[in-house]
Amino acid sequence: MAAIYTFGPFRLDEAAGILFRGTEPVALGQRAVALLHVLVEGAGTPISKDRLIESAWPGLAIEDSNLTVQIGALRRIFAEEPGGENWIETLPRRGYRYVGPVVAKEDHREAAGAQPAPALALPDKPSLAVLPFTNMSGDPEQDYFADGMVEDIITGLARVKWLFVVARNSSFTYKGQSVSVSRVGRELGVRYVLEGSVRKVGRQVRITGQLVEAETGIHIWAERYDRPLDDIFALQDEITLNVVGAIQPSLREAEIERVKRKRPESLDAYDLALRAIPHVFVAMPAEAQKAMPFLEKALTIEADYGTAHGLLAWCNEIFFVRRGYNRENRDAAIRHAQAALAYGRDDATALALGAFVISIIEHDRATALDAFEQALAISPSSALALFFGSNASAYAGNAEPAIDWAERALRISPFDRLSYVAYQALAVGHFLHGRYDEAAHAARHAIHSNPSLSVSYSLLAATLAKLGHIEEAKAMAPQVLALDPSFSASRFCTAIGIPIVLAEPLTEAWSAAGLPP
């Protein structure tokens, strides 16, 4: 049976294995957390070194110095509170003892004799509740800021079509209560719970948030934002945008992992699309080929599934650009992209995927731009729309929106598996402006993010040639051709529909790097 231990401003969640200061997670390793659990469980009682070592390193023979290091880490955390450095006493030749604030223990179970509330059935898509954020400011008048933040986050998340979000009136029934996420998940019928805190000190505000899988207590995402309190409403908008944008890819990753654990025969259209995504996002033909059967099966279940059409459009774009510019792949890419726009009019993901392919393959930049703007109107924090929009703008020769959207995408989701898309856009945008150092830097980031793509190496070759580093540029050419033996400057520029303002300097630079014309 798991428990929560509260002592002073700290809270140890035994189930999650995490220490919190208020609702803010504290950076501690699992060894230190295990030691802390034993110490606070036996508060006031000497705990031997042997028992502590066995709790943190079960079955292992280790030096006492390892225990000393972990105890030191706990003391440094506690030292941030008045007198906290003395909360753990050293008892020579005996062990250690916790003598800090009185520990309150809350079991993760219903009160004796009480029947747990019946669990609500989970929706057929990812489900999430946002709990009221804790006001840590010590000023009750700041509740409006914390509540307004949560309301905006709920509104932003509710725009994500593939996500079920519990309404404010339901999640706010827990305001002022200390409840476990497992209870919230059971009572509201959700798989994930977002909780957080707001602390205002002078003209600074700190906002923390953490997304937790309700059933297991596993933390999916956590972040802290420190900002000056110049414009409280602008700050609220900024934090909301960042939180919503960061949660979307984290949540989708968690869902992909969940689907991998399900029995294959239990799949529906949504789960099939999730199974396809890890293969599609690699952007290589061999992986795209693995994704296509999942997506085709999804469309036999739900023919008007906009996201599945968008992902199939992208698969065919990958085949077209990286495997011989086959007309059949081009036609299929355009057909599915148009279906994504038609069926996904209220789905930012479908619109972004369709718009990208329409721009890159059909070269209809006006329709693509309208679709990207529609996607961002539906979900302003859609990193996917910003990633693809930046890339489409770059290859259309529009440097400023390419750079702007790429930077926004990376700010919202800096560790996204699609970050190479934005770095390519930055490389092209800076190349267009003649900022070749910045372009080379971005191209290197694109390679690091996804080292399988010939395009990133070709962009680095071009920027190095423009910088006059011809030998380095020529060293890139074999890597481009190893990944794409059919690469030629003219075929690539024609297939992507690159305008002359970009095609001419790129072709010239590629020629200097030794790549085929």
For residue 82, the one-letter residue type is P
Of the options 3.40.50.720, 2.60.40.180, 3.20.20.110, 1.25.40.10, the CATH number for the domain spanning 263-380: 1.25.40.10
- Which residue, 349, 361, 275, is CA-closest to 316? 361
pTM of the model as a whole: 0.66
* Start-to-end C-alpha separation, the chain: 68
Q: What is the pLDDT of residues 375-395, one digit of tens each?
A: 998 887 788 899 999 999 999
Point out which residues pair with 98 in neighbouring strands: 88
SS (H, E, C) 281-318: CCCCHHHHHHHHHHHHHHHHHCCCCHHHHHHHHHHHHH
DSSP string, 329-343: HHHHHHHHHHHHHHH
| Residue 434 near residue 457, CB atoms below 8 Å | no
| Residue 270 near residue 123, CB atoms below 8 Å | no
- Which residue, 387, 394, 398, is CA-closest to 459? 394
pLDDT, averaged per 10 consecutive residues of the chain (517 residues), comes to 69 69 68 82 82 77 78 85 85 84 59 49 80 79 76 79 77 80 86 85 81 81 80 70 74 74 66 89 93 95 94 96 91 97 91 97 96 90 90 96 93 81 97 97 94 95 97 95 92 95 97 96
pLDDT of residue 125: 75
Please state which CATH number belongs to domain 3-107.
Answer: 1.10.10.10
- Which residue, 383, 315, 385, 316, is CA-closest to 344? 385
Torsions phi, psi for 194 (to 5 deg): -105, 125
| Gap between the Cα atoms of 90 and 95, Å rounded | 6
Placement of tokens 């690469």 in the chain: 487
Residue 415 burial (C-beta neighbours within 10 Å; 0-12, 13-18, 19+): exposed
- Which residue, 226, 221, 270, is CA-closest to 413? 221
| Gap between the Cα atoms of 461 and 447, Å rounded | 12
Quickly name the fold that domain 397-517 has: 1.25.40
pLDDT of residue 1: 42
Torsions phi, psi for 345 (to 5 deg): -60, -25
Domain with CATH 1.10.10.10 in the chain: 3-107
DSSP string, 323-380: TT--HHHHHHHHHHHHHHHHH-TT-HHHHHHHHHHIIIII--HHHHHHHHHHHHHH-T
Q: What is the pLDDT of residues 273-297, one digit of tens each?
A: 988 998 999 899 999 999 999 999 9
* Those residues with Cβ within 8 angstroms of residue 304's Cβ, 6 or more apart along the chain or in another chain: 343
pLDDT of residue 232: 66
Q: Is the dihedral of CA 259, 265, 266, 268 positive or negative?
A: positive
pLDDT of residue 354: 97
The arrangement of secondary structure in 127-260, i.e. its CATH architecture, is: 3-Layer(aba) Sandwich (3.40)
* Those residues with Cβ within 8 angstroms of residue 323's Cβ, 6 or more apart along the chain or in another chain: 285, 329, 486
| Structure tokens, 221 | 């995402």
| Structure tokens, 336 | 């599915």
pLDDT of residue 437: 97
Torsion of CA 487, 490, 495, 500, to 10 degrees: 140
Domain with CATH 3.40.50.10610 in the chain: 127-260
Domain with CATH 1.25.40.10 in the chain: 263-380, 397-517
